[in-house]
Amino acid sequence: MSLSVADLSYTYNMGLPTEAAALKNISFEAEKGEIFSIVGHTGSGKSTLAMHLNGLMVLQSGEVIVDGIRVGGNPSDLRRIRQAVGLVFQYPEQQIFAETVREEISFGPSNWGLSGDALEERVCAAMDLIGLDRSFAQANPFMLSGGEKRRVAIASVLASDPDYLVLDEPSAGLDYNGLCELTSLLRKMSEKGKCVIHITHDLELALEISDRIMIISDGAVAAIGSPSEISGILSDIDIKGLILPDILSLSYELKKRGRIDKITSDPSELAEEIRTASSCR
C-alpha cells in the first residue's frame, strides 16, 4: 500500500500569456511507515504537488494513485481518497474556518462519522499530539498566533487519523520547541505506520528527519534518495535557492582536500570519518 505519482505535469493558465508550468513529469512512490520529504526552492511546485495528492486539483496529465485508487478516476472514490490523505496547507488561514478550535478540529472526524465521547476523545488526543494546550479548545482560531494556528491546522488533520499525512511547510512559524515537538510527532506518526509526506525548503531539516528525500527544482525531480545518498550528490545537482547545511559544506571541503572519504550530514559520523582518516595517516 502506497501513494504513487507517475509522470504528473500541471500548467497554470494554460494557453494564456500568464501560463506557468508548475509540475513537469513528477514521479515517485511514498510508502507507509516512512517520512518522505519533498524539498524545493520557492516556486518549485511543492504546494501544487501537495494539492494533487488528495484530489484538490484537477489532473491535467499523469497519475496519482492512493492505495490502488486512482485520483480523478471514479468520482465516488474521492471521499475515500480524502479520508486516506490528510493535507495540512502551507498557510493555516487557507484551512481554518470554524469559530472555535474544538469545532475546527472536530470537523474532519465528525464528517467521517465520529460523534459524542469518541469525537471528544479524538479532538483531545489530536491537541495533545501537537502540543496544543486544552485551554485553547474554546478559543477563536483566527485570534491565535501564527504558530498556534499552525498547531490547530495540524491537529485538525491528525484528528481524522489519515494513513497519509501531507504537511506543506509545517515548520514555518514554529519556535525551537515547536520544531522539536513537530519532528518528534512526524517520527511518531511514521513509527505508527503512517506515511508522512513532509514538504519543506529546509534541506537541513529534511536531511535530519527523513527516510527518503525528493528534491524538486523548477517543477521537475532533481534527485530522490536516502539522506546519505542525497548528501553525496548535492554538490553535483542544481539546488537553486536551497541553503546547503554548514555540516555538508564542511564535509564537501574536507573530501575535496582528501581529508575524508565519505560525505555525510551527520555530525558524529563526520567526526568519526575525520578520526579514522587522520589515524590512517
Q: Which residues lie near ligand ATP (CB under 6 A)?
A: 12-13, 20, 22, 40, 42-48, 90, 201
Residue 247: CB minimum distance to ligand ATP, A: 23
Closest contact distance (angstroms) between CB of 50 and ligand ATP is 8
Report the interhelical angle of 267-280 vs 246-256 (nearest 10°).
20
Q: Which is nearer to Mg ion, 197 or 248 (CB)?
A: 197
| Residue ranges in 30-59 that form contacts with Mg ion under rule CB under 5 A | 46-47
- Least distance (Å) from Mg ion to the CB of residue 115? 35
* Shortest distance, position 48 Cβ to Mg ion, whole Å: 8
Which partner in Mg ion, ligand ATP, none is near 122 (CB below 5 to 8 A by kind)? none
Other beta carbons within 10 angstroms of residue 74's beta carbon come to: 9
**Minimal distance, residue 118 CB to Mg ion, in Å:** 34
Please report which residue ranges of the chain form alpha helices under DSSP H.
Answer: 46-53, 78-84, 101-111, 116-129, 146-158, 176-191, 203-209, 227-233, 246-256, 267-280
**Closest CB to ligand ATP among residues 37, 44:** 44
The two beta strands, 2-12 and 61-66, are antiparallel
Contacted by 109, from Mg ion, ligand ATP, none: CB < 5 to 8 Å by type: none
Q: What is the DSSP annotation of 114-148? A: --HHHHHHHHHHHHHHTT--GGGTTS-GGGS-HHH
| Grid cell locating 153 | 491546522
User: One-letter amino acid identity for 185?
Assistant: L
Q: Which residues pair with 223 in a beta bridge?
A: 215
In the bound state with ligand ATP, the residue whose beta carbon lies nearer, of 90 and 171, is: 90
200: contact with Mg ion by CB under 5 A: no
Closest-approach residue to Mg ion (CB): 47
Q: Which does 178 bind (CB under 5 to 8 A by kind): ligand ATP, Mg ion, none?
A: none
Give the residue with the Cβ less far from Mg ion, 47 or 183: 47
Residue pair 243/204 in contact by the 8 Å Cβ criterion: yes
Nearer to ligand ATP by Cβ, of 22 and 234: the residue is 22
Q: Which residue number, 48 or 160, has a Cβ lying nearer to ligand ATP? A: 48
Nearest approach in angstroms of CB 54 to ligand ATP is: 15
- In terms of Cβ atoms closer than 10 Å to its own Cβ (0-12, 13-18, 19+), residue 113 is exposed
Report the relative pairing of strands 164-168 and 85-88 from DSSP bridges.
Answer: parallel
Cα(188)–Cα(33) distance, integer angstroms: 10
Site for Mg ion in 65-124 (CB under 5 A): 90
